[in-house]
Structure 1
């Protein structure tokens, strides 16, 4: 059943917080702010026939984007542990926003399954194998990031795409913005409290160089990395990307 424009707008407004800005039918876009620059993620334009895993899916932007690009099936996982340092528990409505967008976009549960689970529980037995893995906005929230990459590698048979906060241009221990590790150092900073972005779920920020070698250590070859912005002027823009192939 198709949702009317007025009903869809009403349902969108019922959710107190949106992370992703997702294009829905009738010219509607959800009131989130991420991704900052979709094209910077480097995702292939053609994902025809691919099976994709979207880790840390939140509202589902990349899940639905993969389907728009031809993926035959996408599995979205999230454990809803990130509150951005300031959200109330009532601000996160589990899969509510995801389900609303999936319904509005007309995707079936078979095409677009979502599972509440930790990345540490990812396995072939639980999920099967995937051609492509997305791990966006997740790595720096993990207490055990290399273990997580190993888990994702175990179910990935082609390519992984990772996006994370990086410490190349920001370090709370070295003076803040513009005082990171800009020389290609193999460094990952640890944040035991809320040192990074005032968010206690931000545990680590690797340099881009370090993140690339972490992905390589997890079993991926032909690894390449790039920054969101060469010289970021604000903390949300201190982000990096790594892609690796099996």
Structure 2
């Protein structure tokens, strides 16, 4: 007798994303923190979308639900949140389970294990829209990554990151960040930010927006996802860069 969908979900030791599946089943993750505060359009009809750092695939599937014609998801599985064991990151297994349950074919929902530094038009083609959520601060070379993504993005890049406006481990912790729109980015050589050794760089919201501008996006908007965060995990910012003139 085959396992039920609920049993297959429960068999995985860790879920990052909270994904709604058929039959009222929801995967037991916690991200995204507040989907409504993300600036992703409700209508992505006909768009080709790249989802960077896809993990379980929440935003890949959300793009398809919103009408995208094709999604390419990439991840290199390097983030262990500073706490997960190796067997708790199950590569694409959780993504594949959700893709199957939602009924999306590989033709319109492809996933590729690769580093963001390796993206290229030759390998992946061009995209109308790029998602880069929960990834930037894990990168040793964040501006290089944005330059790479900008090089194959024709329209808009949506960017979510940890930010320093309300928290800095060097300034005194929660409530002691850079609240005056400073242009600052901090480097963490060990695990200073959130106890995660793969958190390398965190910018202020102002810095995040200007990094998108530096990567070639003419119009940029940015905002905090939580106005007055009460914990480090809620100190997040969102930015949208458009190439429209």
2:16 is aligned to 19
User: Quick one: distance in 1 between partners of 2:229 and 2:3?
Assistant: 39
Residue 7 of structure 1 and its aligned partner are, at CA, apart by 1.2
Provide runs of 4+ in structure 1 moved above 4 Å. Answer: none
1:106 is aligned to 103
**What 5-or-longer segments of structure 2 have no aligned partner?**
none
1:10 is aligned to 7
Residue 47 (structure 1) aligned with residue 44 (structure 2): yes
Residue 195 (structure 1) aligned with residue 192 (structure 2): yes
Q: 1:1-246 maps to which residues of 2 (within 5 A)?
A: 7-246=4-243
8 Å Cα contact 1:184/1:209 also seen in 2: yes
User: Quick one: distance in 1 between partners of 2:183 and 2:17?
Assistant: 31
User: Quick one: distance in 1 between partners of 2:159 and 2:97?
Assistant: 26
List per-residue Cα deviations over 1:171-227 (Å, max 9, x = no partner): 101110000000000000000000000000000110000010000000001101000
**TM-score (normalizing by structure 2):** 0.98
List per-residue Cα deviations over 1:16-54 (Å, max 9, x = no partner): 000000000000000000011111111000000000000
**TM-score (normalizing by structure 1):** 0.97
**What 5-or-longer segments of structure 1 have no aligned partner?**
none
User: Quick one: distance in 2 between partners of 1:202 and 1:216?
Assistant: 23
List per-residue Cα deviations over 1:150-190 (Å, max 9, x = no partner): 00000100000000000011010111000000000000000
The alignment covers a number of residue pairs equal to 243
8 Å Cα contact 1:5/1:26 also seen in 2: no
